[in-house]
Structure 1
Amino acid sequence: MENFIVSARKYRPATFETVVGQQHITGTLKNAIKNNQLAQAFLFCGPRGVGKTTCARILAKTINCTNPTADMEACGTCDNCQSFQNGHSFNVHELDAASNNSVDDIRSLIEQVRIPPQAGKYKIYIIDEVHMLSQSAFNAFLKTLEEPPSYAIFILATTEKHKILPTILSRCQIFDFNRIQVEDIANHLSTIANRENIAFESDGLHIIAQKADGGLRDALSMFDQIASYANKNITYKAVIDNLNILDYDYFFKLTSFLTAAEVSQTLLLFDEILNNGFDGNNFINGLASHFRNLLVGKDNATIKLLEVSENIKQKYLEQCRQTELSFLLTALNLANTCDLNYKNSKNQRLQVELALIKMCHIRSVVNLAQQPLNTNNTATDGDQDKKKTNVVAEKAVQAESIKPKAESENAAPATVNIPKTEVPASIPLNTSSEAPRPVSMPTATSISINIPKKTAGTLIPSLNDFERNADSDDDGKPKAITGEAREVFSYDRLLEVWSNYVQILKAADKINLFTILNNFAPVLLKPELIEISVESKTQEHLIQQESVELLNYLRNELKNFGVLVTYKQVERKLENRLYGNREKYDYLVNKNPKLDELRRRFNLDINP
Structure 2
Amino acid sequence: MEPFIVSARKYRPQTFKDVVGQQSITNTLQNAIDQNHLAQALLFCGPRGVGKTTCARILAKQINSDGTEQENEDFAFNIFELDAASNNSVDDIRNLIDQVRIPPQVGKYKVYIIDEVHMLSQSAFNAFLKTLEEPPKHAIFILATTEKHKIIPTILSRCQIFDFKRITVKDAAEYLKYIAENQGVNAEDDALHIIAQKADGAMRDALSIFDRVVSFSGSELTRKAVTENLNVLDYDTYFEATDLILEHNIPGLLILFNKTLSLGFDGHHFIAGLASHFRDLMVCQHPDTINLLEVGEAAQQLYRDQSKNTAPSFLLKGLEISNDCDLKYKTSKNQRLLVELTLMKLASINFDGEKKNPESVALNNKTIDFIAPSAFYNQVPTKKNVVKPVTENQIVGTPSEGSKETIATNKFTGTPSAPKPGQATAEAQVTPKEPQQNTKATPTAESTTDVKKPIINLPKKRVSGLSISSLNAKKQHELNKVEVVIDENNLPKDAFTEEELRKHWADFIEIIDKKGQKILASNLHSDIPKLKEGFAIHLELPNGTMKKEIEREQFELMEYLRAKLNNHFVHLVITVNETTSTKFAFTPEEKYEKLRQKNPVIDLLRQEFDLFL
Could you tell me which residue of structure 1 aligns to residue 69 of structure 2? Answer: 78
Could you tell me which residue of structure 1 aligns to residue 9 of structure 2? Answer: 9
**Deviation digits for residues 300-326 of structure 1, max 9, x if unmatched?**
111000000111010000000011112
Residues 1:151 and 2:138 aligned together:
yes
Counterparts of residues 397-546 of structure 1 (less than 5 Å): 440=458
Residues 1:604 and 2:609 aligned together:
yes
Could you tell me which residue of structure 2 aligns to residue 164 of structure 1? Answer: 151
Residues 1:360 and 2:351 aligned together:
no
Could you tell me which residue of structure 2 aligns to residue 571 of structure 1? Answer: none
TM-score, normalised via structure 1 length: 0.63
Taking the aligned partners of 2:324 and 2:267, their CA distance within structure 1 comes to 14
Distance of aligned partners of 1:556 and 1:325 in 2 relative to their CA distance in 1, 3 Å threshold: farther
| 3-state SS in 2 of match to 1:343 | coil
Distance of aligned partners of 1:555 and 1:231 in 2 relative to their CA distance in 1, 3 Å threshold: farther
Distance of aligned partners of 1:53 and 1:590 in 2 relative to their CA distance in 1, 3 Å threshold: farther
Residues 1:232 and 2:211 aligned together:
no
Could you tell me which residue of structure 2 aligns to residue 91 of structure 1? Answer: 78
The AA in structure 1 aligned to 2:17 is: E
> Do the aligned residues in 1 keep the contact of 2:193 with 2:296 (CA within 8 Å)?
yes
| 3-state SS in 2 of match to 1:183 | helix
Where in structure 1 are there 5+ consecutive unaligned residues? 68-76, 387-413, 421-437, 452-498, 505-520, 525-529, 531-549, 560-585
Taking the aligned partners of 2:111 and 2:103, their CA distance within structure 1 comes to 11
Residues 1:336 and 2:323 aligned together:
yes
The AA in structure 1 aligned to 2:51 is: G
The AA in structure 2 aligned to 1:161 is: K
Could you tell me which residue of structure 2 aligns to residue 49 of structure 1? Answer: 49
Report deviation, 1:89.
1.9
| 3-state SS in 2 of match to 1:162 | helix
The AA in structure 2 aligned to 1:55 is: C
The AA in structure 1 aligned to 2:212 is: Q
- Of 288, 298, 306, 1:301 maps to 288
Taking the aligned partners of 1:304 and 1:592, their CA distance within structure 2 comes to 73
The AA in structure 2 aligned to 1:259 is: L
Report deviation, 1:346.
1.1
| 3-state SS in 1 of match to 2:609 | coil
Identical pairs, percent: 55
Taking the aligned partners of 2:177 and 2:306, their CA distance within structure 1 comes to 28
Report deviation, 1:366.
2.5
Distance of aligned partners of 1:210 and 1:556 in 2 relative to their CA distance in 1, 3 Å threshold: farther
> Do the aligned residues in 2 keep the contact of 1:64 with 1:120 (CA within 8 Å)?
yes
Distance of aligned partners of 1:587 and 1:302 in 2 relative to their CA distance in 1, 3 Å threshold: closer
Taking the aligned partners of 2:328 and 2:206, their CA distance within structure 1 comes to 32
Could you tell me which residue of structure 1 aligns to residue 252 of structure 2? Answer: 265
TM-score, normalised via structure 2 length: 0.63
Taking the aligned partners of 2:25 and 2:76, their CA distance within structure 1 comes to 25
Taking the aligned partners of 2:30 and 2:289, their CA distance within structure 1 comes to 34
| 3-state SS in 2 of match to 1:33 | helix
- Of 177, 191, 207, 1:220 maps to 207
Distance of aligned partners of 1:591 and 1:335 in 2 relative to their CA distance in 1, 3 Å threshold: farther
Could you tell me which residue of structure 1 aligns to residue 180 of structure 2? Answer: 193
Could you tell me which residue of structure 2 aligns to residue 589 of structure 1? Answer: 589
The AA in structure 1 aligned to 2:314 is: F
Could you tell me which residue of structure 2 aligns to residue 533 of structure 1? Answer: none
> Do the aligned residues in 2 keep the contact of 1:25 with 1:177 (CA within 8 Å)?
yes
**Deviation digits for residues 192-221 of structure 1, max 9, x if unmatched?**
111111121111111000100000000000
The AA in structure 1 aligned to 2:69 is: C
Counterparts of residues 104-143 of structure 1 (less than 5 Å): 104-143=91-130
Taking the aligned partners of 2:4 and 2:611, their CA distance within structure 1 comes to 90
Taking the aligned partners of 1:241 and 1:301, their CA distance within structure 2 comes to 33
Distance of aligned partners of 1:25 and 1:343 in 2 relative to their CA distance in 1, 3 Å threshold: same
Could you tell me which residue of structure 1 aligns to residue 27 of structure 2? Answer: 27
Taking the aligned partners of 2:58 and 2:258, their CA distance within structure 1 comes to 52
- Of 241, 262, 280, 1:275 maps to 262
Taking the aligned partners of 2:244 and 2:457, their CA distance within structure 1 comes to 26
Where in structure 2 are there 5+ consecutive unaligned residues? 358-368, 380-405, 412-418, 421-431, 439-455, 468-517, 524-541, 556-585, 597-601
Report deviation, 1:232.
2.4
| 3-state SS in 2 of match to 1:344 | coil
The AA in structure 2 aligned to 1:92 is: I
> Do the aligned residues in 2 keep the contact of 1:43 with 1:155 (CA within 8 Å)?
yes
Could you tell me which residue of structure 2 aligns to residue 38 of structure 1? Answer: 38
Report deviation, 1:441.
5.7
Distance of aligned partners of 1:557 and 1:183 in 2 relative to their CA distance in 1, 3 Å threshold: same
Distance of aligned partners of 1:234 and 1:553 in 2 relative to their CA distance in 1, 3 Å threshold: farther
| 3-state SS in 2 of match to 1:48 | coil
| 3-state SS in 2 of match to 1:180 | coil
Taking the aligned partners of 2:17 and 2:51, their CA distance within structure 1 comes to 13
**Deviation digits for residues 457-485 of structure 1, max 9, x if unmatched?**
xxxxxxxxxxxxxxxxxxxxxxxxxxxxx
| 3-state SS in 1 of match to 2:211 | helix
Taking the aligned partners of 1:183 and 1:291, their CA distance within structure 2 comes to 21
Taking the aligned partners of 1:53 and 1:592, their CA distance within structure 2 comes to 76
**343-352 or 356-365, larger mean C-alpha shift:** 356-365
Compare CA radii of gyration and give the structure with the larger one.
Answer: 2
The AA in structure 2 aligned to 1:604 is: F
> Do the aligned residues in 2 keep the contact of 1:43 with 1:175 (CA within 8 Å)?
yes
The AA in structure 2 aligned to 1:140 is: A
The AA in structure 2 aligned to 1:14 is: Q
Report deviation, 1:121.
1.3
**Deviation digits for residues 321-362 of structure 1, max 9, x if unmatched?**
011112111111110111111111111100000000011110
**Deviation digits for residues 348-381 of structure 1, max 9, x if unmatched?**
1000000000111101883869x99999988999
The AA in structure 1 aligned to 2:458 is: S
**Deviation digits for residues 366-418 of structure 1, max 9, x if unmatched?**
3869x999999889999x999xxxxxxxxxxxxxxxxxxxxxxxxxxx9xx9x
Taking the aligned partners of 1:598 and 1:296, their CA distance within structure 2 comes to 75
The AA in structure 2 aligned to 1:101 is: N
| 3-state SS in 2 of match to 1:366 | coil
| 3-state SS in 2 of match to 1:362 | coil
> Do the aligned residues in 2 keep the contact of 1:15 with 1:58 (CA within 8 Å)?
yes
Report deviation, 1:589.
3.1
Taking the aligned partners of 1:96 and 1:449, their CA distance within structure 2 comes to 73
The AA in structure 1 aligned to 2:153 is: P
Residues 1:312 and 2:299 aligned together:
yes
Taking the aligned partners of 2:345 and 2:265, their CA distance within structure 1 comes to 22
> Do the aligned residues in 1 keep the contact of 2:349 with 2:356 (CA within 8 Å)?
no
